[in-house]
Chain A
Amino acid sequence: MLSVIVFSALAVIALASGIAVFRVDSMARATYALAVSFVAVGVMLLMFDLDYIGVITILMMVMEMAIMAIYMIMFMGMNPALMPMSMVHNKRWSAILAVGTFLLLAGGALLIPWAARTGSPAADLTASLGEAIMGSKMLVMLTVSPILFATIVAALVLANPRGRYDRWGDELNRPTPDDPQQGGLGR
């Protein structure tokens, strides 16, 4: 019973802050409302004994939102003075679609006769996760790592405005690169 109350409270927090993301007028508040939503979901995961996944979700999302806030403010040019904003298109159809999807999913959740639980969780879930990704599910991790590496390279290629010819000159023979910001190594 207690777990139902705690879970419901967390769900309300997650949902309310999720809605707040698109309702508040400040970019910073929107970003950190999303962070609150993620922290609430992270705590819910802890309720399923998913210690590692829950804590890592909180860690990643707080970090991500701290960076996200910079992008929000950089691209939307808002000052902290809580300027009202409404940057939406086809609001009505979006709402109809969202509500329809919710009805579909919630109806499914309630009407489908879910199977009974089979198997029981391992004693040490963190260790069992480690054994899974280093054993039977290793292929998943082998696939994820090149994808992450490709993401780093692709994101840098897209976002970096200056190539090596900008830095080292047309003949690539400058003794020191011409950077707007110097790195710490004096290269």
Chain B
Amino acid sequence: MTLQLVLIAAAALFCVGLYGALSQQVVVMVMMGLELMLNGVILAVAAFWWFLTPVPDGQVLLLVVITAMTVEMAMGFAVATLLHRSRGSDMTDSATDLAG
């Protein structure tokens, strides 16, 4: 197992997630895409940690990524619920209030 192999796997996961996050119309599906991107990030961070500098501090970064996922999920669900209640739809295309 080499760093390159793991990084390519992580990049592939990240890009599948990126495709999903960009192309999906429903907020919850966009969140699934973001989750998949963070999944790739977790794998990449773990690979960097293991193959470059396996010191304890690197693990803390992984915990932070996982926390970021939790926050993203919680806020995503809250916003999706709010959108759905006020608009009856949770398509990203209809939520353009802040668009310039």
Contacts and interface: CB of A to CB of B under 8 A. Distances in A.
Task: Report A-B touching, CB under 8 Å.
Answer: yes
Interface of A: 3-4, 7-8, 11, 14-15, 18-19, 21-22, 30-31, 34, 37-38, 41, 44-45, 47-50, 52-53, 56-57, 60, 64, 67-68, 71-72, 74-76, 87-91, 93-95, 97-99, 101-102, 105-106, 109-110, 114-115, 117-122, 125, 128-129, 131-133, 136-137, 140, 144, 147-148, 151-152, 154-156, 158-159, 161
Contacts of B78: 154-156, 158-159
A22 B20 contact: yes
A125 B80 CA distance: 38
A11 B50 contact: no
Interface of B: 1, 3-9, 11-20, 22-29, 31-33, 35-36, 39, 42-43, 46-47, 49-57, 59-60, 62-64, 66-67, 69-71, 73-75, 77-82, 84-85, 90-91, 93
Contacts of B51: 114, 117
Nearest to B6: A7
Contacts of A154: 75, 78
Nearest to A135: B56
29 contacts: A7-B9, A18-B17, A21-B36, A22-B20, A22-B33, A34-B32, A45-B42, A45-B43, A50-B50, A53-B59, A53-B62, A56-B66, A71-B77, A71-B80, A75-B27, A76-B28, A87-B24, A88-B23, A94-B23, A117-B53, A119-B55, A128-B59, A133-B60, A136-B57, A137-B60, A144-B67, A154-B78, A155-B78, A159-B78
Contact of A18 (B13, B54, B64, B91): B13
Contact of B53 (A3, A93, A118, A122): A118
A58 to B, nearest CB: 11
Given A21-B32, A87-B24, A102-B15, A45 B46 contact: yes
> B-side binding surface: helix, strand, loop or mixed?
helix
Contacts of B28: 68, 71-72, 75-76
A157 to B, nearest CB: 8
A122 B14 CA distance: 29
Contacts of A120: 54
Contacts of A64: 35, 69-70, 73
Given A98-B16, A118-B53, 16 more contacts: A7-B1, A21-B32, A34-B36, A53-B63, A72-B28, A76-B28, A105-B14, A110-B4, A114-B52, A117-B52, A118-B52, A119-B53, A128-B56, A148-B71, A151-B71, A152-B74
